[in-house]
Amino acid sequence: MTDRSFHWLGQLAYMAVLASLLLGLATPAAAGPPNIVLIMADDLGYGELGCYGATRCQTPRLDQLAATGLRLTDFHSNGSVCSPTRAALMTGRYQQRCGIDGVVTAKKHRDAGMPIVEETLAELLAQAGYATGIFGKWHLGYAPSFSPTRQGFAEFSGFVSGNIDLFSHIDQEGWYDWWQQQSLVAEPGYAPHLLTEHGIDFIHRHKDQPFFLYLPHPAPHYPYQGPGDAANRTIRQGPSPSGLAEVRTVPALAGNDAARAYREMVEDLDTQVGRIVDALESCGLRDNTLLMFCSDNGGIAKPGIGGDNGPLRGRKGQLYEGGHRVPAIFNWPGKIRPGVSEQTALTFDLLPTFAELAGATPTAEIDGTSLTDLLVDNRSLPARPLAWLSGHSMAYREGPWKLLIQKRSVELYNLEDDLAEAHDLAAEQPERVRQMQAAAEKLRAQIRGTTPMQTGS
Ligand SMILES: [Ca+2]
């Protein structure tokens, strides 16, 4: 090596060090853990968004998030109804482990909820230094003793039942259901808009620290009420807060009016998502925020109303794909490359994913798997058996193969060839059925009955 080439290499090394130092200095804000915004729709089906092939509703903001983020085509809610999915989201575990196998109903479960001892996603992120807020539907217990503010959320505005009148904020049993922290409050307005405004306020107040903003929207679950409609429920029992003003009530919408309201609810949801994106942008937080959008279960598939599940069989409440395969979009500019993934993921994967990004470590044994390698490096997830339990029924997945065990039948589908679950292969492949059923029952026995749902207040 000549003196001259040695000198040249030395210069290059010096410049490389200088460049890396300058780059490091140029990106101080991006060095911290990301903000996490999770927006979950209620009963939004697989076929409701433009980016999933829908044409009935216009969803430009969500379509834009999908076009600039990662859209999953094989993402599933853990439950085929509301409360079970929300329990799996909060715990990172199969919801049956904490006793939430079905809906925590406004009629029969007013003194029950997800056990307070559960280690939740919000608790983990709070411990990692995140500001935590939930603005929307909780549905994991009615009494203040089951409030999200007792499960790691520092801030809560919204409702605890499965659905409310979007104008009068009353649940389907006639109880007033609009809270701030652990108190009933009067806050007039169209619920989806109020929740967005709370979310935007939260973003502004916490823009200088990492935050977890959870926005579980009431749309497009019934009652079907667009932004320009009116209330149809009045208080029939329970307490009401001081300062509650009378609201205009009309009969519940039906037929074409309900279909029109349903469409407006989906399109308004899209608008509300856009307002949150705009707030992040105006605060300069977009590049250091992971935004995730999904649904808590499949659509209702109600002819003439809505709840379209696209090419899928079945609907909310069932273990055919239409009950639990849902839209899912991850968006994080500069970190997640735009694309579409066919990897299989579930709601309970969000806890380990968000915890890893926040630098938090769950102490409880969880069932979910972190999706960070998939999101950031587009790497495949490890092969794993997956289960959906509901009462006596069970769906069990091994790769493309799905076994559906119900009270009087066992069905086998290959979802890669037959997404619509139109061709039951159980009679043709008895050996595969036998092997999968044995594995499924073994997994079901492991999941069942770890902790019962907590009762009392
Ligand atoms: Ca739901």
What secondary structure does DSSP assign to 28-43, as a single string? SGGGSPPEEEEEEESS
How confident is the model over 280-292, as a mean pLDDT? 98
457 vs 175: which has the higher pLDDT: 175
Pair 271, 362 in one domain: yes
346 domain residue, yes or no: yes
Note the pLDDT of residue 455. Answer: 79
pLDDT at 454 over 90: no
What are the tens digits of pLDDT across the range 15-73? 544 454 444 443 434 458 999 999 999 999 999 999 999 999 999 999 999 999 999 99
Question: 371-389 burial, b if ≥16 CB within 10 A, otherwise e?
Answer: bbebbbeeeeeeeeebbbb
407 domain residue, yes or no: yes
Compute, in angstroms, the gap from residue 314 CA to the centroid of ligand 1: 15
Compute, in angstroms, the gap from residue 231 CA to the centroid of ligand 1: 21
Mean pLDDT, the chain, whole residue set: 93
Note the pLDDT of residue 453. Answer: 76
Compute, in angstroms, the gap from residue 6 CA to the centroid of ligand 1: 67
Last residue of a domain, one of 384, 409, 426: 384
Question: How many domains, the chain?
Answer: 2
Compute, in angstroms, the gap from residue 212 CA to the centroid of ligand 1: 21
Pair 120, 153 in one domain: yes
Structure tokens at 19: 């460049």
161 domain residue, yes or no: yes
What are the tens digits of pLDDT across the range 76-135? 999 999 999 999 999 999 999 999 999 999 999 999 999 999 999 999 999 999 999 999
4 domain residue, yes or no: no
Compute, in angstroms, the gap from residue 441 CA to the centroid of ligand 1: 27
| Main-chain dihedrals φ then ψ at residue 134, nearest 5 degrees | -120, 125
20 domain residue, yes or no: no
Note the pLDDT of residue 15. Answer: 54
Pair 156, 183 in one domain: yes
Pair 371, 402 in one domain: no
Pair 410, 427 in one domain: yes
Read off the CATH number of the domain in which 408 is found. Answer: 3.30.1120.10
How confident is the model over 378-389, as a mean pLDDT? 96
Q: Which of 139, 169, 221, 324 is catalytic?
A: 139
Pair 294, 317 in one domain: yes
Least Cα distance to 152 among 358, 373, 367 occurs for: 358
**Counting Cβ atoms within 10 Å, is residue 143 exposed (0-12), middle (13-18) or buried (19+)?**
middle
Pair 256, 398 in one domain: no
pLDDT at 361 over 70: yes
18 domain residue, yes or no: no
What are the tens digits of pLDDT across the range 149-198? 999 999 999 999 999 999 999 999 999 999 999 999 999 999 999 999 99
Pair 123, 255 in one domain: yes
Within 132-221, residue ranges assigned H as helices are: 191-205
Our answer to whether residue 82 is catalytic in this structure is yes
13 pLDDT band, cuts 50/70/90, is very low
Q: Which of 24-28, 253-257, 276-280, 410-414 has the lowest mean pLDDT?
A: 24-28
Pair 403, 345 in one domain: no
Pair 124, 202 in one domain: yes
Note the pLDDT of residue 11. Answer: 56
Range of the domain at 157: 32-384
Q: Which of 51, 57, 82, 98 is catalytic?
A: 82
Compute, in angstroms, the gap from residue 23 CA to the centroid of ligand 1: 45
Compute, in angstroms, the gap from residue 372 CA to the centroid of ligand 1: 26
The length of the chain is 457
Pair 445, 332 in one domain: no
Pair 246, 367 in one domain: yes
148 domain residue, yes or no: yes
What are the tens digits of pLDDT across the range 308-336? 999 999 999 999 999 999 999 999 999 99
Q: By the 8 A CB rule, do 252 and 223 touch?
A: yes
457 pLDDT band, cuts 50/70/90, is low
